């Protein structure tokens, strides 16, 4: 008759293992989740494969156990539990309890001692134990009634008496004898010098036990071993005491105490939802409060459109094109198959409010079907981004999960999603209202959806011939670089292979290792830059990589992205991609086109006006973030410099160095420029020293001199950090929020990074809001005046327009007025405007 089985989890060990194995996992609000996620996966694996009826999770309580009293250095090399892990232990215990699994722990003892005690008690009740652990010392418990299961390799490995003997050469009851000789690095148990696992095992096999070995030391043949052991007898005996588990902890345990209770799926759903474990949540059985949405109903067909639209004020739509759109209005759900004229009228009707997810994408797609989607009213993606700009993604299924406890089936189609949108949008609107974000959403972000859809549809013309010539030029330089690199290295190798490059740099040329990666010495850009002053090869490698990146990312790729008929690039401009509110672009990413190298600059020459009667107009905010810093800090010196339209970098250099502006040399201005812009991004003395190639002390003196001249800037920085610590978020001038969850982190590096975010976000975010306001005002004017002006690009603080040459001055004038007047600051807002036939060769206007 089969015995009942009791599974015992070495829970603390699994928490540590999961924490270090799955680095980087956290929620959108900053709670680390790697240990929780790894632990739950192990738990689910055991439940799936073993289907246990009895289980106990055993934890360490603290580092202070009876072993420290015997040996003060026991586990002393282990640092305190990391903050990122300690914050997850209560969550793991909460999940364990929700699974119906009892938890056992006791002050002064380790989890292994709890397990040993439970095994002894279970054995007396005729119960078979399966210890789930990967620790070597736990194998001492293996006997006829106990096995150890290590779950990590494929199906896992089960250690019974034969398996222990096969693996270590000794039976389970001699495992502590081996540890006594070889030690245990994990627990800081010091081994005997020169004895590893193989030697320890051989000695125990030869002599039969540790006690017999110590009684017959003179019989050890090797002199070195004999001497080492005889000199360490007390340590060896102590080692065995430390390794032996205490099986008599006072727990009062009965096997029925470990019977698994009913799984609290509703509780697990709440925890998984809070931790944003969507995959784990989907695998839970359906419970009250967690709605599983299946695919859309098959009977859904064409509807009476005039009837559905008549008297409707709102239309919820999902899908990406006319043929695949589905709608929800006036309590009715329908989709349309095939073109219908009254559908086009409804979609274009600005009075019929449209709610959708990523309305810009829908609008651009419908434009290809000849439909100009009007009445853009509520975009759930944009609303969710405003509420929490740190989320890793804003898919509709994610938002339904986050805000409505709804898990959407992967098969759910547009019709079902349209109906769910009608339930999601009011919830998001309420949250926007509660957080003071509704005005920003209504007056800035939603109007911008319309503007960006126009910009994407406009596109910018590309001259492929320019890029073809540039490609040939780069190809020639790459061939030349290959020869130079091979000549300097003295051999031919694969320049794109980090492994071969490591061999050349650090083994052949004997250059110093700057930093290491998981695979060996690093050869990244920072390393090559730092090695460039020690050998000519790293500098050539940097140029080679930069040219390869330019060629592959832009020069050869841009022509493939252009429309074959119009030769225009239609990049996507993303509103929900950054935490500061800045726009980003993709397909292609126009913000990363390098402009500091001649070849990089020449990529801009390929972006041209739409025809000979037009030109490009570049309108760039001048030093906008520094102007916003002056406004936010209210620093009198900084405000005065902008009011007098001074060269702000010369003015700062004059103050820092204590010389008249006329005596400020170029190098002095450059240093002041780096400090000016660096302050906005939380400049440190280390960062400035690296940028300028000066000592950290000299860099610190520059920063201190800056704050001495601009004291209100220092006050602003301190107040922003304090506000973030108290409220957990910072805001822009228009109220955009960014949450700073790590602002009180005990890890200094993480905390300082969060402090820099707290300082920079209101500045960069306000600059983002400003240019968005300007884009809306300009586009409204273009429509109102029916001008031939087209907004074609937005890159950081710059807007680019395709403008008819006839009326160029008037266009430039009204664009300048809108950009400089979009937001009222304590300092003047200045816009630099240039014109040209292409984006590179431009002259001031």
User: CATH number for the domain including 478?
Assistant: 1.20.1060.10
Contact of 544 with 485, CB cutoff 8 Å = yes
Q: For position 453, what pLDDT does the model report?
A: 97
Task: Tell me the pLDDT tens digit for each residue of 216-229.
Answer: 888 888 888 888 88
Q: For position 591, what pLDDT does the model report?
A: 85
26 with 123, same domain?
yes
338 in any annotated domain: yes
Contact of 55 with 9, CB cutoff 8 Å = yes
Residue partners of 408: CB distance under 8 A and separation at least 6? 293, 396, 397, 400, 401, 416, 417, 420
- For the segment 823-828, the average pLDDT, to the nearest whole number, is 96
370 with 502, same domain?
no
13 with 154, same domain?
yes
Q: For position 199, what pLDDT does the model report?
A: 87
Q: Which two tokens stand for residue 458?
A: 């406009």
Cα-Cα-Cα-Cα dihedral sign, residues 734, 735, 739, 745? positive
417 with 479, same domain?
no
704 in any annotated domain: yes
Which range, of 321-330, 435-444, 453-462, 501-510, averages the lowest pLDDT? 321-330
User: CATH number for the domain including 414?
Assistant: 3.30.420.10
88 in any annotated domain: yes
For residues 830 and 809, give the distance between their C-alpha atoms in angstroms, rounded to a whole number: 17
Band of the pLDDT at 102, cuts 50, 70, 90? very high
Q: Is the pLDDT of residue 321 over 50?
A: yes
Q: For position 367, what pLDDT does the model report?
A: 93
State the DSSP string of 41-69. HHHHHHHHHH--SEEEEE----S--HHHH
Task: Tell me the pLDDT tens digit for each residue of 707-727.
Answer: 888 899 999 999 999 999 999
Decide which of 566, 587, 604 is a domain's last residue. 566
SS3 content of the chain, % helix, strand, coil (to 5): 55, 15, 35
Q: Is the pLDDT of residue 76 over 50?
A: no
Decide which of 731, 760, 789 is a domain's last residue. 760
Contact of 776 with 442, CB cutoff 8 Å = no
Q: How many domains does the chain have?
A: 4
DSSP state of 80: P
For residues 482 and 514, give the distance between their C-alpha atoms in angstroms, rounded to a whole number: 24
Band of the pLDDT at 319, cuts 50, 70, 90? confident
785 in any annotated domain: no
Q: For position 619, what pLDDT does the model report?
A: 97
686 in any annotated domain: yes
97 with 60, same domain?
yes
Alpha helix (H) residue ranges in 317-445: 341-348, 359-367, 380-387, 396-404, 414-434, 438-440
Q: Which two tokens stand for residue 786?
A: 């029916």
Q: Is the pLDDT of residue 340 over 80?
A: no
Task: Tell me the pLDDT tens digit for each residue of 12-54.
Answer: 989 988 998 888 788 877 788 999 999 999 999 899 888 999 9
614 in any annotated domain: no
Q: For position 71, what pLDDT does the model report?
A: 47
User: CATH number for the domain including 719?
Assistant: 1.10.150.20
Residue partners of 750: CB distance under 8 A and separation at least 6? 742
Pairing of strands 146-150, 157-159: antiparallel
Flag whether the pTM goes above 0.85.
no
State the DSSP string of 190-228. PPPTT--HHHHHHHHHHHSSHHHHHHTGGG-S-HHHHHH
The residue segments making up the domain with residue 252 are: 5-161+245-258
CB atoms within 10 A of CB 533: 10
Decide which of 745, 760, 775 is a domain's last residue. 760
On average, the pLDDT of the chain sits at 87
Q: For position 25, what pLDDT does the model report?
A: 86
Cα of first residue to Cα of last residue in the chain, in angstroms, is 94
Q: Is the pLDDT of residue 306 over 60?
A: no
Band of the pLDDT at 58, cuts 50, 70, 90? very high
Pairing of strands 376-379, 353-356: parallel
Q: Is the pLDDT of residue 81 over 80?
A: no
Q: Is the pLDDT of residue 68 over 60?
A: no
Task: Tell me the pLDDT tens digit for each residue of 546-582.
Answer: 999 999 989 999 999 999 988 999 999 999 999 999 9
DSSP state of 140: G
388 with 488, same domain?
no
Which range, of 77-86, 441-450, 688-697, averages the lowest pLDDT? 77-86
Q: Is the pLDDT of residue 56 over 50?
A: yes
The kind and range of the H/E element at 353 are: strand 353-356
488 with 417, same domain?
no
Q: For position 409, what pLDDT does the model report?
A: 66
Cα-Cα-Cα-Cα dihedral sign, residues 242, 247, 249, 251? positive
15 with 110, same domain?
yes
Q: Is the pLDDT of residue 201 over 80?
A: yes
599 in any annotated domain: no
Q: For position 308, what pLDDT does the model report?
A: 60
DSSP state of 738: E
3-state secondary structure of 314: strand
Q: Is the pLDDT of residue 290 over 60?
A: no
Looking up tokens 């006791």 gives 106
Q: For position 299, what pLDDT does the model report?
A: 42
Which range, of 323-337, 416-430, 461-475, 511-525, averages the lowest pLDDT? 323-337
- Between the ranges 69-83, 138-152, 411-425, 427-441, where is the mean pLDDT highest? 427-441
State the DSSP string of 724-779. HHHHSEEE-TT--EEE-TTTT-SSHHHHHHHHHHHHHHHHHHHHHHHHHHHHHHHH
Residue partners of 312: CB distance under 8 A and separation at least 6? 329, 330, 352
Contact of 631 with 645, CB cutoff 8 Å = no
Q: For position 297, what pLDDT does the model report?
A: 46
* In the chain, % of residues over pLDDT 70: 92
3-state secondary structure of 699: helix
Contact of 37 with 22, CB cutoff 8 Å = yes
Q: Is the pLDDT of residue 671 over 80?
A: yes
Q: Which two tokens stand for residue 215?
A: 């009684």
636 with 558, same domain?
no
Q: Which two tokens stand for residue 462?
A: 């590309």
3-state secondary structure of 147: strand
For residues 187 and 242, give the distance between their C-alpha atoms in angstroms, rounded to a whole number: 9
392 with 513, same domain?
no
Check residues 498 and 1 and name the one with the higher pLDDT: 498
For residues 626 and 35, give the distance between their C-alpha atoms in angstroms, rounded to a whole number: 42
Question: What is the rounded radius of gyration, in angstroms, for the C-alpha atoms of the chain?
Answer: 34
Question: How would you class 337 by CB atoms within 10 Å of its CB: exposed for 0-12, middle for 13-18, buried for 19 or more?
Answer: exposed
For residues 782 and 779, give the distance between their C-alpha atoms in angstroms, rounded to a whole number: 5
592 in any annotated domain: no
Task: Tell me the pLDDT tens digit for each residue of 114-130.
Answer: 999 999 999 999 999 99
469 with 420, same domain?
no
Q: Which two tokens stand for residue 149?
A: 């299961």
User: CATH number for the domain including 80?
Assistant: 3.40.50.1010
For residues 164 and 147, give the distance between their C-alpha atoms in angstroms, rounded to a whole number: 10
For residues 718 and 237, give the distance between their C-alpha atoms in angstroms, rounded to a whole number: 58
Check residues 232 and 807 and name the one with the higher pLDDT: 807
Residues in the chain, overall count = 845
422 with 504, same domain?
no
- Between the ranges 177-191, 287-301, 325-339, 800-814, where is the mean pLDDT highest? 800-814
Task: Tell me the pLDDT tens digit for each residue of 732-750.
Answer: 999 999 999 889 887 787 8
Tell me if the bond preceding 541 is cis, omega within 30° of 0: no
């Amino acid at each position: 008759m089969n015995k009942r089985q009791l599974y015992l989890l070495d829970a603390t060990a699994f928490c540590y293992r999961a924490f270090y194995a799955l680095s980087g996992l956290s929620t959108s609000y900053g709670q680390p989740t790697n240990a929780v996620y790894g632990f739950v996966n192990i738990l689910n694996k055991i439940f799936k494969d073993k289907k246990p009826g009895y289980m106990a999770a055993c934890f360490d309580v603290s580092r202070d156990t009876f072993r420290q009293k015997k040996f003060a250095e026991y586990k002393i090399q282990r640092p305190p539990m990391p903050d990122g892990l300690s914050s997850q232990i209560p969550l793991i215990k909460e999940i364990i309890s929700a699974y119906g699994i009892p938890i056992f722990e006791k002050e002064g003892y380790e989890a292994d001692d709890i397990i040993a005690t439970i095994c002894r008690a279970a054995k007396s009740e005729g119960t078979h134990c399966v210890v789930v652990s990967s620790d070597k010392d736990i194998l001492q418990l293996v006997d006829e009634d106990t096995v150890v299961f290590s779950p990590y390799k494929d199906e896992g490995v089960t250690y019974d008496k034969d398996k222990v003997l096969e693996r270590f050469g000794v039976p389970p009851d001699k495992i502590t004898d081996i540890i006594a000789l070889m030690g245990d690095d994990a627990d800081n148990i010091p081994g005997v010098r020169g004895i590893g696992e193989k030697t320890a095992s051989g000695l125990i096999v030869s002599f039969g036990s540790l006690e017999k070995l110590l009684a017959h030391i003179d019989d050890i043949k090797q002199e070195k071993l004999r001497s080492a052991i005889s000199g360490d007898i007390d340590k060896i005996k102590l080692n065995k005491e430390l390794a032996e588990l205490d099986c008599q902890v006072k727990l009062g345990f009965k096997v029925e105490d470990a019977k698994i209770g009913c799984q609290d799926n509703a509780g697990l759903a709440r925890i998984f939802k809070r931790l944003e474990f969507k995959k784990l949540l989907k695998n839970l059985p359906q419970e009250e409060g967690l709605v599983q949405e299946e695919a859309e109903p098959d009977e859904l067909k064409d509807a009476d459109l005039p009837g559905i639209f008549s008297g409707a004020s709102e239309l919820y739509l999902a899908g990406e094109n006319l043929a695949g759109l589905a709608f929800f209005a006036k309590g009715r759900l329908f989709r349309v198959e095939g073109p219908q004229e009254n559908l086009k009228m409804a979609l274009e009707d600005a009075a019929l409010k449209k709610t959708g997810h990523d309305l810009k994408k829908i609008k651009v797609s419908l434009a290809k079907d000849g439909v100009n989607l009007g009445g853009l009213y509520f975009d759930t993606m944009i609303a969710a981004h405003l509420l929490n700009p740190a989320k890793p993604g804003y898919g509709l299924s994610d938002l339904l999960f986050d805000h409505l406890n709804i898990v959407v089936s992967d098969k759910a189609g547009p019709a079902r999603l349209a109906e769910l949108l009608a339930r999601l949008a009011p919830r998001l609107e309420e949250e926007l209202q509660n957080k003071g974000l509704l005005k920003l959403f209504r007056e800035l972000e939603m109007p911008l959806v319309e503007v960006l859809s126009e910009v994407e549809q406009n596109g910018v013309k590309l001259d492929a011939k320019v890029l073809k010539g540039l490609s040939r030029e780069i190809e020639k330089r790459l061939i030349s670089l290959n020869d130079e690199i091979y000549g300097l290295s003295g051999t031919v190798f694969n320049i794109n292979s980090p492994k071969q490059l490591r061999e050349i740099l650090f083994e052949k040329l004997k250059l110093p290792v700057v930093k290491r990666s998981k695979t060996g010495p690093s050869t990244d850009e920072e390393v090559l830059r730092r090695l460039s002053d020690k050998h000519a090869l790293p500098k050539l490698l940097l140029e080679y990589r930069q040219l390869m990146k330019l060629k592959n990312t832009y020069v050869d790729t841009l022509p493939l992205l252009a429309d074959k008929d119009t030769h225009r690039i239609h990049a996507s401009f993303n509103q929900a991609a950054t935490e500061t509110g800045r726009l980003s672009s993709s397909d292609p990413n126009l913000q990363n086109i390098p402009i500091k190298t001649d070849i990089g600059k020449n990529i801009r020459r390929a972006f041209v006006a739409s025809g000979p009667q037009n030109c490009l107009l570049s309108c760039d905010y001048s030093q906008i973030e520094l102007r916003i810093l002056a406004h936010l800090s209210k620093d009198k010196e900084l405000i005065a410099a902008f009011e007098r339209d001074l060269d702000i970098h010369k003015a700062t250099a004059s103050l820092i160095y204590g010389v008249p502006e006329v005596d400020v040399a170029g190098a002095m201005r450059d240093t002041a420029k780096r400090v000016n812009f660096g302050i906005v991004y939380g400049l440190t003395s280390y960062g400035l020293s690296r940028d300028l190639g000066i000592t950290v002390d000299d860099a610190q003196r520059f920063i201190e001199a800056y704050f001495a001249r601009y004291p209100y800037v220092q006050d602003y920085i301190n107040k922003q950090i304090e506000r973030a610590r108290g409220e957990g978020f910072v805001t822009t001038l228009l109220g955009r929020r960014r949450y700073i969850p790590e602002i009180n982190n005990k890890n200094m590096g993480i905390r300082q990074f969060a402090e820099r975010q707290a300082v920079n976000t209101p500045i960069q975010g306000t600059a983002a809001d400003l240019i968005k306001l300007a884009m809306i005002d300009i586009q409204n004017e273009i429509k109102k005046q029916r001008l031939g002006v087209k907004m074609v690009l937005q890159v950081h603080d710059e807007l680019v327009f395709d403008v008819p040459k006839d009326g160029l001055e008037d266009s430039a004038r009204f664009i300048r007025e809108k950009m400089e007047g979009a937001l009222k600051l304590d300092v003047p807002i200045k816009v630099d405007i240039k014109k040209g036939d292409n984006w590179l060769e431009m002259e001031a206007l």
